[in-house]
Structure 1
Amino acid sequence: MRNDQSGDRRGEREYAVVKRSVIVGGHKTSVSLEDAFWTSLKDIAMRRGMTLSTQIASIDTDRRTSNLSSAIRLYVLEHFRTRAASTMFIGERLAPSTRLAPLGPE
């Protein structure tokens, strides 16, 4: 069964690799990332009050891989892992009466 075409196209766009030129440390380079990573990276930079170029330069400085695109993907992944973990820890500090009950038998 086929999904709605507009939904398919949106999903295709999120997974499509997009190559963009960026300036890092005064040098022009190209970075290829899936659209979902570009969107997430822009969001992270905006929330930190940074330009996208400044955020990428920061990642470039701290990266442990020779591939900038991979370093950016790992950075975005780590950002959201950290956010998810901090959300879980906040939930664990709630009083027992405010926690959600388990869904099934334990």
Structure 2
Amino acid sequence: MKHLRKRSFRLAGHRTSVALEAEFWAVLDALAATRGLSLAALVAEVDAARPVPDLPLASALRVHALAQAGQDRG
């Protein structure tokens, strides 16, 4: 069983924690570095771009990581 890694961020003035598998964090860290952003800035972008505001942030981050990984392959 994979263990979740929790990271904390300040989004829109509020502190929040997100738990994801290490593999998702690795993709998001690499994406942020490629774009010259901090991980917190990338998470804030994904948070702000959620089409459905009550979609869990962890889910939005997973979908974003998968979408980016898919673009890198194609």
- TM-score computed with the length of structure 2 as normaliser: 0.88
1:34 and 2:11 equivalent?
Answer: no
Report which structure shows greater RCO (CA 8 Å, sep ≥6): 2
- Partner secondary structure for residue 20 of structure 1: strand
Greater share of strand residues, 1 or 2?
2
Gaps spanning 5+ residues in structure 2: where?
Answer: none
Over 2 Å off, 4+ runs: none
> Percent of counterpart pairs with the same letter?
35
Aligned-residue Cα RMSD (Å) equals 1.3
CA distance in 2, matches of 1:35, 1:64: 25
Please say if 1:63 is aligned against 2:50.
yes
1:14-64 deviations in whole A, cap 9, x for unaligned? Answer: x31112211112211010100111111111101100011110000001113
Give the structure with higher Rg (CA): 1
TM-score (norm 1): 0.63
2-structure distance, mates of 1:22, 1:39: 16
Question: How do 1:47-86 residues align onto structure 2 when only pairs under 5 Å count?
Answer: 47-65=34-52, 66-85=55-74
Asked if residue 43 in structure 1 is aligned to residue 30 in structure 2, the reply is yes
